[in-house]
Amino acid sequence: MRRRTLSRLSVAAVSLGLLATLAPSAGAAPGAPPAHDHGARPAYKRVGYFTQWGVYGRNFQVKDLDTSGTAAKLSHINYAFGNIGADGRCFTGNVPGEADAWADYVRPLDAAGSVDGVADTADQPLAGNFNQLRELKAKHPGLKVMISLGGWSWSTHFSDAARTPASRKALVASCIDLYIKGDLPADGTRGGAGAAAGLFDGIDIDWEWPGSAGDTDTVFRPEDKQNFTALVREFRTQLDAYARSRKQRTHYELSAFVPTAPAKIDAGFEVRKIMRDLDFVNLQGYDFHGSWESTTAQQSALFAARGDFSVDQTVNDWLRRGAPARKLVVGMPFYGQGWTGVTGGGDGLGRPATGAAPGTWAAGSEDYKALRKLADGGAFTVHRDRRNAHAWLFDGTTLWTYDDPQVLRAKSAYVRARGLGGAMFWSLDGDTPDGELITAVNGVLGGRR
């Protein structure tokens, strides 16, 4: 069967038409269906990453997902991250830079910081983020929580752990024990067998990247490509077996974060095979360019010139390799990439720069909520490429490329026009306190397909 394809201009036209009817303002569309309505057609996925470490410096708590209205507009929360040890098994504990059981399930929350308004007690087995996520699910039925394994920094041991049938079985069994069965290590009165049972609804594999380079200490091998397929199969097999053993009708979901670069796709992913076992994949829709480069460029455009990265290029590359459109969830950034020392005049895009722009938490990166203040402050000018759907800020010296509500509505309309699975956000702590970005997306994708 010939796959229906849409040209850039026709997709853009459809997107604009959808925007006119579905998202007339920065807020939720009037009369938009609720996030968890029930009907014959499947809902679009709205998958947000909640970062374990965000509860510290950023002071972004699980309760903020409720008070901002964000939780009601999400279908899934991906908890970032779970780690894999040198022994090839999922683990947690209090190991600086490697695991943080204190944030996960030990840290007590007072009444003011709790989703349900009740303070944690000294003897309850589950506290911290895990307990708050459990309370959030109770308040928002239908919201699913996934444990994300790996990420850029913690993909170190994936290749070793996936190398043999025995090692894959051991890895998957350990992850199911820890997160699905909820058998947490005892830490004083916290933890124990089944302490987190029922919290996680599935597993998200964030191996960055099978078969190609990732972080400096991450191992990769040519055989990762076939081993990733086998690992996905092992996760699917054991998750299904556990559900059957419990006589549950539950389907534990299985997803993966996957790259935009065609070379990385081909090095690490047997697309048709893995898509049989994955419920969906979250496409990398950002970090196309950044301050590691000496020339300013877009980091997350919907469209771009041939040969450049873009959301549309990423979607098409996965479709061409056999991924079903309904299983492709488009990644959208809640942060921007920035350069300083930009010269050459004009609007700043495509100009040389001397380095990374100063950021609140890391050079070259800034949360949307901070960029929004820059846009409103008068020193920076907002520039837009409406045809390619991306935006940037420039003050003559410093440039930030980012997504704002207008860009995200265009991308969400594109998701609808292409029959895709939904949207994913990295990360939820970058949004404004009133959830400006998630509201923009939900105004378009909050209903049924």
Q: In the numeric block, which tokens belong to residue 205? A: 């594999």
For residues 120 and 112, give the distance between their C-alpha atoms in angstroms, rounded to a whole number.
Answer: 11
Contact 403, 310 (CB under 8 A): no
Q: Give the model's pLDDT for residue 277.
A: 98
Radius of gyration of the chain (CA): 21
DSSP letter at 3 equals P
The 8-class DSSP code of residue 181 comes to S
Give burial (CB, 10 Å; 0-12/13-18/19+) of 102: middle
Distances from the Cα of 428 to the Cαs of 58, 326, 327, in angstroms?
A: 11, 23, 22
Dist. CA 230–CA 165, nearest whole Å: 8
What DSSP state is assigned to residue 76? E
State yes or no: cis peptide before 427, omega within 30 of 0: yes
Locate all alpha helices (DSSP H) within 155-203, ordered by sequence.
Answer: 158-161, 165-175
Q: Which CATH superfamily does the domain covering 8-18+38-335+403-445 fall into?
A: Glycosidases (3.20.20.80)
Rounded to the nearest 5 degrees, what angle is found at the Cα of 127, between the Cα atoms of 122 and 129? 155
The CA distance from 302 to 419, in Å, is 15
Phi-psi region of 143 (alpha: psi -120 to 50; beta: other; left: phi over 0): beta
Q: What letters, b where the CB count within 10 A reaches 16 and e where it falls short, cover 2-38?
A: eeeebeeeebbebbeebbeebbeeeebbeebeebeee
Size of the chain, expressed as the number of residues it contains: 449
Q: Which helix (H) or strand (E) holds 329?
A: strand 328-333
Q: Kindly report the CA angle at 254 between 249 and 256, in degrees rounded to 5?
A: 170
Strand 202-207 with 144-151, pairing: parallel
SS3 for 355-399 is EECCCCCECCEEEHHHHHHHHHHCCCEEEEECCCCEEEEECCCCE
* Number of C-beta neighbours around residue 406 at 10 A: 17
Look at residue 434 in the predicted model and tell me its pLDDT: 97
Q: How far is CA 228 from its chain centroid?
A: 20
Residue 13 confidence (pLDDT):
52
Rounded Cα distance between 188 and 119, Å, is 18
The catalytic site residues sit at 208
Rounded Cα–Cα distance for residues 289 and 88 (Å): 33
Check residue 249 and give its pLDDT. Answer: 84
In this structure, are residues 154 and 80 in contact, taking their beta carbons and an 8 Å threshold? Answer: no
Going from N- to C-terminal start, the domains of the chain cover 8-18+38-335+403-445
pLDDT of residue 27: 33
Q: What is the pLDDT along the chain (449 residues), one digit of tens a residue?
A: 333 344 454 545 545 554 443 333 333 332 333 334 434 468 999 999 999 999 999 999 999 999 999 999 999 999 999 999 999 999 999 999 999 999 999 999 999 999 999 999 999 999 999 999 999 999 999 999 999 999 999 999 999 999 999 999 999 999 999 999 999 999 999 999 999 999 999 999 999 999 999 999 999 999 999 999 999 999 999 999 999 999 878 999 999 999 999 999 999 999 999 999 999 999 999 999 999 999 999 999 999 999 999 999 999 999 999 999 999 999 999 999 999 999 999 999 999 999 999 999 999 999 999 999 999 999 999 999 999 999 999 999 999 999 999 999 999 999 999 999 999 999 999 999 999 999 999 999 998 88
Number of neighbours of residue 141 by Cβ within 10 angstroms: 7
Distance separating the N- and C-terminal Cα atoms of the chain: 22
Cβ–Cβ under 8 Å, residues 376 and 407: no
What's the one-letter identity of residue 378?
A: G
pLDDT of residue 17: 55
DSSP codes joined into one string, 163-206? SSHHHHHHHHHHHIIIIIS--EEEETTEEETTTTTTT--EEEEE
If residue 281 lies in a helix (H) or strand (E), which one and from where to where?
A: strand 280-283
